[in-house]
Protein backbone atom coordinates (compact mmCIF):
# COMPACT_ATOMS: atom_id res chain seq x y z
CA UNK A 1 0.00 0.00 0.00
CA UNK A 2 1.31 3.44 -0.90
CA UNK A 3 0.52 6.21 1.54
CA UNK A 4 0.50 9.79 0.31
CA UNK A 5 1.84 12.68 2.36
CA UNK A 6 -1.69 13.42 3.52
CA UNK A 7 -1.58 10.58 6.01
CA UNK A 8 -1.14 12.68 9.14
CA UNK A 9 -3.99 15.14 9.60
CA UNK A 10 -5.29 16.87 12.68
CA UNK A 11 -8.26 18.44 10.96
CA UNK A 12 -10.48 16.18 8.85
CA UNK A 13 -10.71 17.54 5.34
CA UNK A 14 -13.55 15.40 4.06
CA UNK A 15 -15.61 14.58 7.13
CA UNK A 16 -18.52 16.98 7.61
CA UNK A 17 -19.91 16.87 11.12
CA UNK A 18 -23.46 17.22 12.33
CA UNK A 19 -24.56 20.34 14.17
CA UNK A 20 -25.06 18.27 17.30
CA UNK A 21 -21.50 16.96 17.33
CA UNK A 22 -20.13 20.41 16.59
CA UNK A 23 -22.09 21.95 19.44
CA UNK A 24 -20.86 19.29 21.84
CA UNK A 25 -17.26 19.75 20.77
CA UNK A 26 -17.45 23.51 21.04
CA UNK A 27 -18.46 23.13 24.65
CA UNK A 28 -15.56 20.84 25.53
CA UNK A 29 -12.24 22.18 26.79
CA UNK A 30 -9.19 20.89 24.93
CA UNK A 31 -8.21 18.79 27.92
CA UNK A 32 -11.28 16.61 27.43
CA UNK A 33 -9.79 15.03 24.32
CA UNK A 34 -6.34 14.51 25.75
CA UNK A 35 -4.75 11.10 25.78
CA UNK A 36 -3.99 10.13 29.35
CA UNK A 37 -0.23 10.31 29.39
CA UNK A 38 -0.17 8.01 32.38
CA UNK A 39 -1.51 5.32 30.03
CA UNK A 40 1.26 5.82 27.46
CA UNK A 41 4.72 4.40 28.11
CA UNK A 42 7.98 4.68 26.17
CA UNK A 43 11.00 2.38 26.34
CA UNK A 44 14.43 2.31 24.72
CA UNK A 45 16.24 -1.00 24.24
CA UNK A 46 19.96 -1.71 24.06
CA UNK A 47 19.80 -2.43 20.31
CA UNK A 48 18.32 1.01 19.62
CA UNK A 49 14.72 -0.10 19.23
CA UNK A 50 12.08 2.24 20.65
CA UNK A 51 8.77 0.99 22.02
CA UNK A 52 5.67 3.10 22.69
CA UNK A 53 2.74 1.43 24.42
CA UNK A 54 -0.68 2.97 25.03
CA UNK A 55 -3.01 1.08 27.34
CA UNK A 56 -6.63 1.28 26.15
CA UNK A 57 -8.82 -1.41 27.68
CA UNK A 58 -12.20 -0.55 26.19
CA UNK A 59 -12.09 -3.62 23.94
CA UNK A 60 -10.00 -6.85 24.07
CA UNK A 61 -8.02 -6.00 20.95
CA UNK A 62 -4.49 -4.78 20.18
CA UNK A 63 -2.85 -2.90 17.30
CA UNK A 64 0.81 -3.84 16.80
CA UNK A 65 2.87 -1.71 14.40
CA UNK A 66 6.49 -1.55 13.32
CA UNK A 67 7.60 1.72 11.72
CA UNK A 68 10.90 1.96 9.83
CA UNK A 69 12.34 5.43 9.19
CA UNK A 70 13.01 4.49 5.57
CA UNK A 71 10.74 5.63 2.77
CA UNK A 72 11.06 6.84 -0.78
CA UNK A 73 12.89 10.00 0.36
CA UNK A 74 15.83 7.78 1.32
CA UNK A 75 16.16 6.30 -2.18
CA UNK A 76 18.80 7.31 -4.72
CA UNK A 77 18.50 8.02 -8.42
CA UNK A 78 18.14 4.87 -10.47
CA UNK A 79 16.61 2.88 -7.61
CA UNK A 80 13.37 4.73 -6.97
CA UNK A 81 10.49 2.55 -5.78
CA UNK A 82 12.72 0.10 -3.90
CA UNK A 83 11.20 0.96 -0.49
CA UNK A 84 7.75 -0.01 -1.76
CA UNK A 85 9.05 -3.10 -3.56
CA UNK A 86 10.74 -4.28 -0.37
CA UNK A 87 7.45 -3.81 1.47
CA UNK A 88 5.94 -6.34 -0.95
CA UNK A 89 8.85 -8.75 -0.48
CA UNK A 90 8.49 -8.69 3.31
CA UNK A 91 5.52 -11.04 2.89
CA UNK A 92 7.57 -13.65 1.01
CA UNK A 93 8.88 -15.46 4.06
CA UNK A 94 11.92 -16.02 6.25
CA UNK A 95 14.22 -18.92 6.99
CA UNK A 96 11.45 -20.53 9.07
CA UNK A 97 8.24 -19.06 7.58
CA UNK A 98 7.39 -20.07 4.01
CA UNK A 99 6.42 -17.54 1.36
CA UNK A 100 2.83 -16.41 1.87
CA UNK A 101 2.54 -18.07 5.30
CA UNK A 102 2.89 -14.79 7.21
CA UNK A 103 -0.55 -13.56 6.19
CA UNK A 104 -2.11 -16.99 6.62
CA UNK A 105 -0.68 -17.30 10.15
CA UNK A 106 -2.03 -13.89 11.15
CA UNK A 107 -5.44 -14.82 9.72
CA UNK A 108 -5.31 -18.15 11.60
CA UNK A 109 -5.28 -16.28 14.94
CA UNK A 110 -8.19 -14.07 13.81
CA UNK A 111 -6.12 -11.01 12.96
CA UNK A 112 -5.80 -8.65 10.05
CA UNK A 113 -2.55 -7.28 8.68
CA UNK A 114 -1.06 -5.16 5.95
CA UNK A 115 1.68 -2.64 5.27
CA UNK A 116 2.17 0.86 3.89
CA UNK A 117 4.96 2.84 2.24
CA UNK A 118 5.23 6.63 2.26
CA UNK A 119 7.89 9.18 1.47
CA UNK A 120 9.00 9.29 5.10
CA UNK A 121 8.58 5.71 6.29
CA UNK A 122 7.49 2.12 5.77
CA UNK A 123 5.14 0.48 8.26
CA UNK A 124 3.70 -2.94 9.04
CA UNK A 125 0.74 -3.71 11.27
CA UNK A 126 -1.47 -6.39 12.74
CA UNK A 127 -4.71 -5.95 14.64
CA UNK A 128 -5.55 -8.96 16.78
CA UNK A 129 -7.31 -10.24 19.88
CA UNK A 130 -5.13 -9.33 22.86
CA UNK A 131 -4.04 -12.88 23.71
CA UNK A 132 -2.47 -13.25 20.24
CA UNK A 133 -0.02 -10.35 20.55
CA UNK A 134 2.95 -12.62 21.20
CA UNK A 135 2.12 -14.65 18.06
CA UNK A 136 2.24 -11.70 15.69
CA UNK A 137 5.18 -10.06 17.46
CA UNK A 138 7.20 -13.23 16.97
CA UNK A 139 6.40 -13.19 13.25
CA UNK A 140 7.19 -9.49 12.83
CA UNK A 141 10.49 -9.73 14.69
CA UNK A 142 11.41 -12.76 12.59
CA UNK A 143 11.09 -10.89 9.33
CA UNK A 144 12.93 -7.86 10.75
CA UNK A 145 15.96 -10.12 11.15
CA UNK A 146 15.54 -13.05 8.78
CA UNK A 147 13.81 -12.02 5.55
CA UNK A 148 14.49 -14.55 2.81
CA UNK A 149 13.21 -14.42 -0.77
CA UNK A 150 14.39 -15.89 -4.05
CA UNK A 151 15.18 -14.16 -7.33
CA UNK A 152 12.19 -15.95 -8.84
CA UNK A 153 9.83 -14.54 -6.20
CA UNK A 154 11.23 -11.06 -6.77
CA UNK A 155 10.85 -11.32 -10.55
CA UNK A 156 7.18 -12.22 -10.15
CA UNK A 157 6.46 -9.51 -7.58
CA UNK A 158 8.16 -6.72 -9.53
CA UNK A 159 5.66 -7.40 -12.30
CA UNK A 160 2.86 -6.88 -9.79
CA UNK A 161 4.37 -3.56 -8.73
CA UNK A 162 4.77 -2.39 -12.34
CA UNK A 163 1.15 -3.25 -13.03
CA UNK A 164 0.22 -1.37 -9.87
CA UNK A 165 2.00 1.67 -11.28
CA UNK A 166 0.13 1.35 -14.57
CA UNK A 167 -3.21 0.99 -12.83
CA UNK A 168 -2.89 3.61 -10.09
CA UNK A 169 -0.67 6.19 -11.78
CA UNK A 170 -0.32 5.90 -15.54
CA UNK A 171 -4.03 5.25 -16.10
CA UNK A 172 -5.09 7.85 -13.54
CA UNK A 173 -4.83 11.49 -14.69
CA UNK A 174 -5.00 12.92 -11.17
CA UNK A 175 -2.17 10.66 -10.01
CA UNK A 176 -0.13 11.67 -13.05
CA UNK A 177 -0.70 15.32 -12.17
CA UNK A 178 0.41 14.76 -8.58
CA UNK A 179 3.53 12.97 -9.78
CA UNK A 180 4.34 15.73 -12.25
CA UNK A 181 3.69 18.41 -9.63
CA UNK A 182 6.21 16.92 -7.19
CA UNK A 183 8.79 16.39 -9.94
CA UNK A 184 8.37 20.01 -11.08
CA UNK A 185 8.16 21.73 -7.69
CA UNK A 186 11.29 20.10 -6.25
CA UNK A 187 14.81 20.14 -7.69
CA UNK A 188 17.04 18.64 -5.01
CA UNK A 189 14.66 17.08 -2.51
CA UNK A 190 14.02 13.35 -3.02
CA UNK A 191 10.33 14.17 -2.61
CA UNK A 192 10.49 14.80 -6.36
CA UNK A 193 10.43 11.03 -6.96
CA UNK A 194 7.18 9.03 -6.82
CA UNK A 195 6.78 6.59 -3.95
CA UNK A 196 6.05 3.77 -6.34
CA UNK A 197 9.12 4.66 -8.40
CA UNK A 198 9.69 5.61 -12.02
CA UNK A 199 8.77 2.84 -14.43
CA UNK A 200 12.28 2.63 -15.90
CA UNK A 201 13.74 2.10 -12.43
CA UNK A 202 11.22 -0.67 -11.72
CA UNK A 203 11.99 -2.35 -15.05
CA UNK A 204 15.70 -2.38 -14.23
CA UNK A 205 15.45 -3.25 -10.53
CA UNK A 206 17.09 -6.48 -9.37
CA UNK A 207 16.43 -8.71 -6.40
CA UNK A 208 19.73 -7.63 -4.86
CA UNK A 209 18.57 -4.00 -4.89
CA UNK A 210 15.69 -4.94 -2.60
CA UNK A 211 17.95 -7.13 -0.45
CA UNK A 212 20.43 -4.26 -0.05
CA UNK A 213 17.64 -1.91 0.99
CA UNK A 214 16.61 -4.44 3.62
CA UNK A 215 20.19 -4.81 4.86
CA UNK A 216 20.66 -1.04 4.99
CA UNK A 217 17.52 0.13 6.74
CA UNK A 218 15.66 -2.73 8.43
CA UNK A 219 17.28 -2.65 11.82
CA UNK A 220 16.01 -2.17 15.38
CA UNK A 221 17.91 1.11 15.69
CA UNK A 222 15.92 2.43 12.72
CA UNK A 223 12.53 1.22 13.95
CA UNK A 224 9.75 2.15 16.34
CA UNK A 225 7.31 -0.44 17.69
CA UNK A 226 3.90 0.96 18.61
CA UNK A 227 1.37 -1.11 20.57
CA UNK A 228 -2.08 0.23 21.47
CA UNK A 229 -4.91 -1.69 23.09
CA UNK A 230 -5.93 -3.90 25.99
CA UNK A 231 -2.44 -4.55 27.31
CA UNK A 232 -0.17 -3.89 30.26
CA UNK A 233 2.90 -1.91 29.28
CA UNK A 234 5.30 -3.95 31.39
CA UNK A 235 4.08 -7.17 29.76
CA UNK A 236 4.47 -5.69 26.26
CA UNK A 237 7.97 -4.55 27.18
CA UNK A 238 8.84 -8.11 28.20
CA UNK A 239 7.53 -9.48 24.89
CA UNK A 240 9.52 -6.92 22.90
CA UNK A 241 12.64 -7.78 24.87
CA UNK A 242 12.06 -11.46 24.11
CA UNK A 243 11.37 -11.20 20.38
CA UNK A 244 13.06 -7.99 19.20
CA UNK A 245 15.76 -7.71 21.86
CA UNK A 246 18.16 -10.31 20.37
CA UNK A 247 18.24 -8.53 16.97
CA UNK A 248 21.48 -6.61 16.64
CA UNK A 249 21.75 -2.97 15.68
CA UNK A 250 23.32 -1.97 12.35
CA UNK A 251 25.42 0.86 11.08
CA UNK A 252 22.88 2.83 9.07
CA UNK A 253 23.77 4.59 5.80
CA UNK A 254 24.65 8.25 6.14
CA UNK A 255 21.70 10.50 5.38
CA UNK A 256 22.66 13.46 3.22
CA UNK A 257 20.77 16.75 3.81
CA UNK A 258 19.56 17.28 0.19
CA UNK A 259 18.29 20.76 1.03
CA UNK A 260 15.81 22.14 -1.49
CA UNK A 261 17.06 25.47 -2.94
CA UNK A 262 14.85 28.52 -2.79
CA UNK A 263 12.41 28.74 -5.69
CA UNK A 264 12.93 31.99 -7.57
CA UNK A 265 10.20 31.97 -10.12
CA UNK A 266 6.88 30.49 -11.05
CA UNK A 267 6.88 27.01 -12.59
CA UNK A 268 4.24 25.83 -15.04
CA UNK A 269 3.71 22.54 -16.83
CA UNK A 270 0.83 21.09 -18.84
CA UNK A 271 -0.10 17.40 -18.93
CA UNK A 272 -2.02 15.71 -21.73
CA UNK A 273 -3.77 12.56 -20.54
CA UNK A 274 -7.08 10.72 -20.98
CA UNK A 275 -9.71 12.43 -18.82
CA UNK A 276 -13.21 13.87 -18.91
CA UNK A 277 -12.51 17.41 -17.68
CA UNK A 278 -9.65 19.91 -17.33
CA UNK A 279 -7.95 19.99 -13.93
CA UNK A 280 -5.51 22.25 -12.13
CA UNK A 281 -3.11 21.87 -9.22
CA UNK A 282 -1.47 24.89 -7.64
CA UNK A 283 1.29 24.32 -5.08
CA UNK A 284 3.17 26.83 -2.94
CA UNK A 285 6.36 26.22 -0.95
CA UNK A 286 5.49 26.58 2.73
CA UNK A 287 7.11 25.62 6.05
CA UNK A 288 6.41 22.42 7.96
CA UNK A 289 6.43 22.04 11.71
CA UNK A 290 9.99 22.04 13.03
CA UNK A 291 10.31 19.58 15.97
CA UNK A 292 12.80 22.01 17.55
CA UNK A 293 10.41 24.96 17.22
CA UNK A 294 7.05 23.56 18.25
CA UNK A 295 5.64 26.97 19.11
CA UNK A 296 6.12 28.44 15.62
CA UNK A 297 2.78 29.90 14.60
CA UNK A 298 3.02 29.59 10.81
CA UNK A 299 2.52 25.81 10.39
CA UNK A 300 -0.56 25.85 12.63
CA UNK A 301 -1.95 28.83 10.73
CA UNK A 302 -1.45 26.94 7.45
CA UNK A 303 -3.28 23.94 8.88
CA UNK A 304 -6.25 26.11 9.82
CA UNK A 305 -6.13 27.77 6.39
CA UNK A 306 -6.33 24.36 4.74
CA UNK A 307 -9.41 23.52 6.75
CA UNK A 308 -11.01 26.88 5.94
CA UNK A 309 -10.53 26.30 2.22
CA UNK A 310 -11.57 22.67 2.06
CA UNK A 311 -13.33 19.81 3.74
CA UNK A 312 -16.96 20.74 4.34
CA UNK A 313 -19.96 22.01 2.40
CA UNK A 314 -19.46 25.63 3.38
CA UNK A 315 -15.68 25.75 2.97
CA UNK A 316 -14.30 28.63 0.91
CA UNK A 317 -13.42 26.68 -2.23
CA UNK A 318 -16.62 24.63 -2.28
CA UNK A 319 -18.79 27.65 -1.64
CA UNK A 320 -17.14 29.98 -4.13
CA UNK A 321 -15.86 27.72 -6.92
CA UNK A 322 -18.45 24.93 -6.88
CA UNK A 323 -21.74 26.46 -5.67
CA UNK A 324 -21.63 30.19 -6.34
CA UNK A 325 -19.50 30.61 -9.47
CA UNK A 326 -20.00 27.04 -10.80
CA UNK A 327 -16.42 26.98 -12.03
CA UNK A 328 -15.59 23.56 -10.61
CA UNK A 329 -17.14 20.19 -10.01
CA UNK A 330 -14.89 19.82 -6.98
CA UNK A 331 -12.09 21.74 -5.30
CA UNK A 332 -9.91 21.09 -2.28
CA UNK A 333 -6.77 22.01 -0.37
CA UNK A 334 -4.16 19.92 1.42
CA UNK A 335 -1.23 20.60 3.71
CA UNK A 336 0.83 18.31 5.95
CA UNK A 337 1.83 19.78 9.26
CA UNK A 338 4.35 17.02 9.91
CA UNK A 339 6.89 15.52 7.51
CA UNK A 340 10.59 14.71 7.22
CA UNK A 341 11.03 16.67 4.00
CA UNK A 342 9.95 20.05 2.57
CA UNK A 343 6.29 20.87 2.39
CA UNK A 344 3.78 22.17 -0.16
CA UNK A 345 0.37 23.74 0.23
CA UNK A 346 -1.72 22.37 -2.63
CA UNK A 347 -5.04 23.55 -4.06
CA UNK A 348 -6.66 21.43 -6.77
CA UNK A 349 -9.87 21.65 -8.76
CA UNK A 350 -11.71 19.94 -11.61
CA UNK A 351 -13.45 22.21 -14.11
CA UNK A 352 -17.22 22.22 -14.48
CA UNK A 353 -18.67 21.78 -17.96
CA UNK A 354 -17.73 24.69 -20.20
CA UNK A 355 -15.04 26.03 -17.83
CA UNK A 356 -11.28 26.13 -18.37
CA UNK A 357 -8.18 25.89 -16.21
CA UNK A 358 -7.77 29.65 -16.72
CA UNK A 359 -11.17 30.15 -15.09
CA UNK A 360 -10.21 27.80 -12.24
CA UNK A 361 -6.90 29.53 -11.58
CA UNK A 362 -8.55 32.94 -11.52
CA UNK A 363 -11.18 31.72 -9.08
CA UNK A 364 -8.62 30.09 -6.78
CA UNK A 365 -6.45 33.20 -6.70
CA UNK A 366 -9.46 35.36 -5.93
CA UNK A 367 -10.33 33.13 -2.96
CA UNK A 368 -6.75 33.35 -1.69
CA UNK A 369 -6.63 37.12 -2.14
CA UNK A 370 -9.88 37.54 -0.23
CA UNK A 371 -8.35 35.78 2.76
CA UNK A 372 -5.17 37.84 2.46
CA UNK A 373 -7.28 41.02 2.54
CA UNK A 374 -9.98 40.11 5.06
CA UNK A 375 -8.84 36.95 6.86
CA UNK A 376 -11.47 34.43 7.92
CA UNK A 377 -14.49 34.97 10.12
CA UNK A 378 -14.88 34.04 13.77
CA UNK A 379 -17.63 31.64 12.76
CA UNK A 380 -15.21 29.83 10.44
CA UNK A 381 -12.58 29.64 13.16
CA UNK A 382 -15.09 28.18 15.62
CA UNK A 383 -16.19 25.57 13.10
CA UNK A 384 -12.61 24.53 12.27
CA UNK A 385 -11.64 24.24 15.91
CA UNK A 386 -14.75 22.21 16.57
CA UNK A 387 -13.77 19.88 13.76
CA UNK A 388 -10.37 19.46 15.32
CA UNK A 389 -11.76 18.50 18.70
CA UNK A 390 -14.27 16.17 17.08
CA UNK A 391 -11.61 14.42 15.04
CA UNK A 392 -9.59 13.76 18.19
CA UNK A 393 -12.63 12.39 19.99
CA UNK A 394 -13.36 10.02 17.12
CA UNK A 395 -9.70 9.05 16.83
CA UNK A 396 -9.53 8.04 20.48
CA UNK A 397 -12.33 5.54 19.80
CA UNK A 398 -10.00 3.59 17.49
CA UNK A 399 -6.88 1.83 18.72
CA UNK A 400 -5.66 1.65 15.13
CA UNK A 401 -6.06 5.43 14.63
CA UNK A 402 -4.21 6.09 17.87
CA UNK A 403 -1.33 3.84 16.80
CA UNK A 404 -1.17 5.56 13.40
CA UNK A 405 -1.09 8.98 15.03
CA UNK A 406 1.71 8.02 17.40
CA UNK A 407 3.80 6.30 14.73
CA UNK A 408 3.46 8.94 12.00
CA UNK A 409 4.39 11.69 14.45
CA UNK A 410 7.36 9.89 15.98
CA UNK A 411 8.80 8.89 12.62
CA UNK A 412 9.03 12.60 11.73
CA UNK A 413 10.79 13.32 15.04
CA UNK A 414 7.70 14.81 16.70
CA UNK A 415 7.08 13.19 20.08
CA UNK A 416 3.70 11.69 20.89
CA UNK A 417 3.80 13.92 23.98
CA UNK A 418 3.41 16.95 21.69
CA UNK A 419 0.20 15.85 19.98
CA UNK A 420 -2.19 17.34 22.51
CA UNK A 421 -0.10 20.49 22.70
CA UNK A 422 -0.33 20.83 18.91
CA UNK A 423 -4.10 20.67 19.18
CA UNK A 424 -4.03 23.42 21.79
CA UNK A 425 -1.77 25.57 19.60
CA UNK A 426 -4.19 25.27 16.66
CA UNK A 427 -6.97 26.42 18.99
CA UNK A 428 -5.07 29.69 19.52
CA UNK A 429 -4.74 30.60 15.82
CA UNK A 430 -6.51 33.82 14.84
CA UNK A 431 -7.54 35.48 11.60
CA UNK A 432 -4.62 37.90 11.53
CA UNK A 433 -2.09 35.06 11.70
CA UNK A 434 -3.80 33.36 8.76
CA UNK A 435 -3.69 36.58 6.74
CA UNK A 436 0.03 36.83 7.47
CA UNK A 437 0.92 33.35 6.17
CA UNK A 438 -1.09 33.91 3.00
CA UNK A 439 0.71 37.19 2.30
CA UNK A 440 4.11 35.68 3.09
CA UNK A 441 4.00 32.34 1.29
CA UNK A 442 1.31 32.52 -1.41
CA UNK A 443 3.51 34.41 -3.83
CA UNK A 444 4.12 33.92 -7.51
CA UNK A 445 7.82 33.10 -7.14
CA UNK A 446 6.99 30.13 -4.91
CA UNK A 447 4.19 28.76 -7.08
CA UNK A 448 4.07 25.58 -9.18
CA UNK A 449 1.09 25.10 -11.50
CA UNK A 450 0.16 21.84 -13.21
CA UNK A 451 -2.75 21.78 -15.64
CA UNK A 452 -4.46 18.83 -17.30
CA UNK A 453 -5.44 19.01 -20.96
CA UNK A 454 -7.96 16.13 -21.23
CA UNK A 455 -7.57 13.67 -24.07
CA UNK A 456 -9.96 10.96 -25.31
CA UNK A 457 -10.15 7.99 -22.94
CA UNK A 458 -9.49 5.64 -25.85
CA UNK A 459 -5.82 6.52 -25.25
CA UNK A 460 -5.81 4.34 -22.12
CA UNK A 461 -3.43 1.46 -22.66
CA UNK A 462 -4.67 -0.82 -19.89
CA UNK A 463 -8.07 -1.90 -18.62
CA UNK A 464 -9.17 -0.79 -15.14
CA UNK A 465 -8.62 -4.05 -13.33
CA UNK A 466 -6.39 -4.90 -10.42
CA UNK A 467 -3.37 -7.12 -11.08
CA UNK A 468 -3.20 -10.45 -9.34
CA UNK A 469 -1.48 -10.20 -5.96
CA UNK A 470 -2.02 -6.43 -5.57
CA UNK A 471 -2.74 -5.76 -1.89
CA UNK A 472 0.07 -3.88 -0.18
Query: Any idea what the CATH number is for the domain that residue 40 is in?
Result: 3.30.830.10
Same-domain check for residues 199 and 304: no
CA–CA gap between residue 399 and residue 228 (Å, rounded): 6
Same-domain check for residues 72 and 206: yes
User: Does residue 345 surpass a pLDDT of 70?
Assistant: yes
Same-domain check for residues 52 and 189: yes
Average pLDDT over residues 114-130: 97
Q: Where are the alpha helices (DSSP H) in 166-290?
A: 173-185, 199-203, 207-217, 233-243
Same-domain check for residues 328 and 274: yes
Q: How many contiguous H segments (helices) and E segments (strands) does the chain have? A: 16, 11
User: Does residue 298 surpass a pLDDT of 80?
Assistant: yes
CA–CA gap between residue 341 and residue 231 (Å, rounded): 34
> What local confidence, expressed as pLDDT, does residue 144 receive?
98
Q: Is residue 468 part of a domain?
A: no
Same-domain check for residues 30 and 119: yes
Which domain-ending residue is among 202, 228, 243? 243
Q: Is residue 330 part of a domain?
A: yes
CA–CA gap between residue 220 and residue 43 (Å, rounded): 13
Q: Is residue 416 part of a domain?
A: yes
Same-domain check for residues 73 and 182: yes
- pLDDT tens, residue by residue, 212-247: 999 999 999 999 999 999 999 999 999 999 999 999
Look up the domain containing 359 and give its range. 267-459
179: DSSP letter? H
> What local confidence, expressed as pLDDT, does residue 35 receive?
52
Q: How far is CA 179 from CA 2, 195, 196, 463, in A?
A: 13, 9, 10, 21
Name the pTM for this structure.
Answer: 0.89
Nearest to 29 by CA among 381, 394, 388: 388
Same-domain check for residues 349 and 216: no
User: How many domains would you assign to the chain?
Assistant: 2
Contact 239, 66 (CB under 8 A): no
Q: At what angle do helices 297-309 and 378-395 cross, to 10 degrees?
A: 100
Q: Is residue 471 part of a domain?
A: no
- pLDDT tens, residue by residue, 150-205: 999 999 999 999 999 999 999 999 999 999 999 999 999 999 999 999 999 999 99
Q: Is residue 212 part of a domain?
A: yes
Same-domain check for residues 362 and 214: no
Least confident of 33-47, 110-124, 203-217, 357-371: 33-47
CA–CA gap between residue 304 and residue 284 (Å, rounded): 16
Work out the number of other CB atoms within 10 angstroms of the CB of residue 400: 16
Q: Is residue 14 part of a domain?
A: no
Q: At what angle do helices 378-395 and 399-410 cross, to 10 degrees?
A: 110
Least confident of 32-46, 183-197, 342-356: 32-46
Same-domain check for residues 226 and 289: no
Nearest to 399 by CA among 225, 228, 226: 228
Amino acid sequence: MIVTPMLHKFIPKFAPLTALVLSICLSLPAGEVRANKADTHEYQFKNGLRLIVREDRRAPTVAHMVWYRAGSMDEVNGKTGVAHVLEHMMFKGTKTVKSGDFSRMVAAVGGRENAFTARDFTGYFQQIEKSKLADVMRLEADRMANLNFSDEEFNKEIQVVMEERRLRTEDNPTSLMQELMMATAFISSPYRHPIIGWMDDLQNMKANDARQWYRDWYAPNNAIVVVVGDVKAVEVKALVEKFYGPIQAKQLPERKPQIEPEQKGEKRVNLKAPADSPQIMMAWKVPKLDPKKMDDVEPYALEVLSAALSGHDNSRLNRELVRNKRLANNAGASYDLISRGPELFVISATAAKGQTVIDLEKGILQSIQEIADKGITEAELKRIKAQLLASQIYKRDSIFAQAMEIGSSEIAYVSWREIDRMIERVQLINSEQIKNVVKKFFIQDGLTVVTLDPQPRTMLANPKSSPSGLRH
